[in-house]
Amino acid sequence: MSSAGRNHEAVGLLRRMEEVGWHPDVLTYSGVILGLCEDGQVTDALDLLSKMTSKGISPTLDAYDSLIRGLCIKGEVAEALDLFSKMTSKGISPDVVTYNSLIRGLCHSRQWNQACTLLSEMVALNIGPAMITFNILVGALCKDGLAPEAHASLEAMAQWGIQPDVRTYRSLIAGYCLRKEMDKAREVFDVMMEKGCGTDSYSYSMLINGFCKIGKVDEAKQLFYEMSDEGLVPDVVTCTTLLNMAYHRQGDIVQPRSFSWT
């Protein structure tokens, strides 16, 4: 019922069960809480949590995870952290879902220091996979124009024995492109290649567009040729951007080599 979005009916059913002397168990309460949170009815879900605890029923980790995620999605990160503290004080250990929700919420509200503190705590407790969490933090920092700070986190990843993946490198490339620091973006791309993370059209396209935006058409052309030699196809936006820049340089038109337009 809850999964179908019929949350009011589910809450009403719980009430009727109690009226006739049936006592919903922890799984029943948790299922309704999950449904309420998925529909954004976090306040109602919190009320239900309070009700079940008043009856001496201890919520499951899944119920807490649903509520913490729902609060973070609504931007109520302080409330989510408060619920997190209450949860841990009851002896319920958080999992990767808990930490990921909180760190994502903190990143969205630009509370970088607290996000990093939670990440360190998570790794110290050996709660994984931490790679997903690192990528949340790196991606959020880069989107906010803080690529150097995101880049510095790679050293911390190495200390904890975690290797960046293609998503990590893509975020850094996008972050440096946003700052128009194209030499840095190219360096990250080269490291990604050296680490064997593979090549993809998306990373090439970001670099080509970035170099074009700062007027470095020669570098963009070189990347285009490398991309076509790899058998990768640029998107329409990338091709249009590069060709427009080339025409503006008095006929300095990119000639695709192994790349086919058809």
Which structure tokens are listed for 231?
């058998």
40 in Cβ contact with 30 (< 8 Å): no
> What pLDDT does residue 246 have?
65
Nearest to 217 by CA among 257, 253, 180, 181: 253
Higher-scoring residue by pLDDT: 162, 186 = 186
176-190 mean pLDDT: 97
Alpha helices in the chain (DSSP H): 7-19, 26-38, 42-54, 61-73, 77-89, 96-108, 112-124, 130-143, 147-159, 166-178, 182-194, 201-213, 217-229, 236-248
Q: In one letter, which amino acid is 81?
A: L
> What pLDDT does residue 145 have?
95
147 in Cβ contact with 172 (< 8 Å): yes
Any residues with CB less than 8 A from the CB of 68 and at least 6 apart, and which?
A: 80, 83, 84, 87, 98, 101, 102
Which structure tokens are listed for 87?
């949860």
> What pLDDT does residue 259 have?
35
Burial 138-154 (b: 16+ CB within 10 A, else e): bbbbbbbebbebbbebb
Selected from 3.60.15.10, 3.40.50.410, 3.30.70.100, 1.25.40.10, the CATH number assigned to the domain covering 165-262 reads 1.25.40.10
Model confidence over 127-153: pLDDT tens digits?
877 889 999 999 999 999 999 999 998
Answering whether pTM is above 0.75, one says: yes
> What pLDDT does residue 59 have?
93
Band of pLDDT at residue 15, cut at 50, 70 and 90: low
